[in-house]
Structure 1
């Protein structure tokens, strides 16, 4: 089981110029979150006495896997987005909401274009005009239900993932892939997952490389940001591996899920 919350921002009145909005949204959210959290404005995060309880440090400066993800799609007609908070990241809900409410005045992109939104939802409840202290969330709980069988995986955003220390460009080692999902789950809940065997009869893959570049303000240069895009069919998959595959539809998988990469859908085949 995995506890989580979903914050959804709807009706943003600026249209994107590019197919991938994840870098823009993550950048403005990070800026707003630091404003919401920071006690010592000019102090480096790692030197701050409050870093252990700081949402910004946890989400942006921590060397461990951040327990949040950005939920977007390619080629969106707008900048609407969702932020998922997993496990212990749920405790940072209030500064996250403050950051989201401050994002319009900070502005989008390099030109920092101010914008408006229509609604903010926490799970299914609207909190657009709610006072922060009046918000009492009810956690959502994910419990996998997939059984052993045949499945089809499709990428919704590019899957940027390393296997054997190399970024995958066209095909996955499926056994390693399932174990990477299990490892990510263990990092999220803070419990190392026991080793297990991955059983399947055969797989069919149809991936190609989807190229994305983004500009890093920290490194002051453009960076490659692409991943594989396409689909895969898995036949005769064992139940435990199927459960982890289902889990990845919630958490995303691979590198840069906080930008919205690694979003997949999975359906059972007859």
Structure 2
């Protein structure tokens, strides 16, 4: 039977650098780049074989996680060269361009989506391998000290530590049934952008974040993740109707600013710009139909570059007349 559920598990990896570590301005890109090579090291059976011509590519964890493409005969996104990755890194907030002293614990978040949850042992082995190879251009070695599972209510469960060398079960997932309406009469909501949001509106990157464009992006992201990684369908949602309705929600206040980020792509041998907007924005209107998809985005991120940790936001309930009605949507 088809399901409407999107399943996401959230983890916290605690690492301990063995030497002083100057944290780069875009730690998410540093993690994503080095981790990809480490993941291939621990999963690839034919290391000298190119992925595109490898006999095992249809059954390979590395190809599924990092070379994520629509399968043959896909009913959606079949003309796209790639589909959303089933993971998201969440670098620690507020640390760019600072120095982490040797021996200091550094927390790195990781989201795994759908089928990728079963690959957690590979992610743990890859983190250990990255620690042996060295992180960033500084080649800072580190130890993976602990992995914690983070439940929907924030409860933490230690599922791996470097002393036991054993992985415990963790099943406290974030479940999203976007076809199930949220019962709320919320009229005002604020979003605080914790990492740059790269959002396109009518094909162009925007620094305004119209509500309609945000909802359209989240619906596309949720639909693709559900279809390709969770075996789920969102057929109960009227996508076109929701996007039209989102056009009636207005921006009441915007304190957004553009933040430039750059990463060097080893594969393309060039520097790539990955900037986006940060700050906060307040929307006003009939928000009840959108609270479910906004809650999904609060966990799964929005926009482009999500696997690097971009597009992370928090829903902030406003004081005053709408606070209680917004809060009611969180508990459902």
TM (normalized to structure 2)? 0.74
Q: Mark the runs of 5 or more structure 2 residues left unpaired by the alignment.
A: 69-81, 101-105, 151-155, 228-232, 323-332
Please name the residue that 1:42 is paired with: 48
Alpha-carbon distance between aligned partners in 1 of 2:128 and 2:183, rounded to the nearest angstrom: 37
Please name the residue that 1:105 is paired with: 132
Alpha-carbon distance between aligned partners in 1 of 2:161 and 2:143, rounded to the nearest angstrom: 12
Comparing 28-37 and 257-266, the one that deviates more: 28-37
Alignment of 1:119-134 (within 5 A): 119-123=146-150, 124-126=156-158, 127-129=160-162, 130-131=164-165, 134=167
Comparing 231-240 and 30-39, the one that deviates more: 231-240
Please name the residue that 1:213 is paired with: 262
1:173 Cα shift? 2.4
Structure 1 residue corresponding to 2:202, chosen from 119, 139, 164? 164
Aligned residues: 268
CA shift in 2, pair 1:2/1:139, >3 Å: farther
CA contact (8 A) 1:9 1:80 kept: yes
CA shift in 2, pair 1:69/1:146, >3 Å: farther
CA shift in 2, pair 1:52/1:146, >3 Å: farther
Please name the residue that 1:229 is paired with: 278
Partner SS for 1:253: coil
Please name the residue that 1:254 is paired with: 303
CA shift in 2, pair 1:115/1:11, >3 Å: closer
Instruction: Work out whether 1:115 is the aligned partner of 2:142.
Output: yes
Comparing 156-165 and 71-80, the one that deviates more: 71-80
Please name the residue that 2:85 is paired with: 66
* Per-residue Cα deviation, 1:17-62 (whole angstroms, up to 9, x for no partner): 4332111111121111101110111112122232233222122111
Please name the residue that 1:149 is paired with: 187
Instruction: Work out whether 1:51 is the aligned partner of 2:70.
Output: no
1:98 Cα shift? 1.3
1:69 Cα shift? 0.4
Partner SS for 2:136: coil
Partner SS for 1:112: coil
1:201 Cα shift? 4.6
Please name the residue that 1:202 is paired with: 250
Q: Mark the runs of 5 or more structure 1 residues left unpaired by the alignment.
A: none
Alpha-carbon distance between aligned partners in 2 of 1:246 and 1:122, rounded to the nearest angstrom: 19
Instruction: Work out whether 1:90 is the aligned partner of 2:117.
Output: yes
Instruction: Work out whether 1:188 is the aligned partner of 2:215.
Output: no
**For the aligned residues, what is the CA RMSD?**
2.2
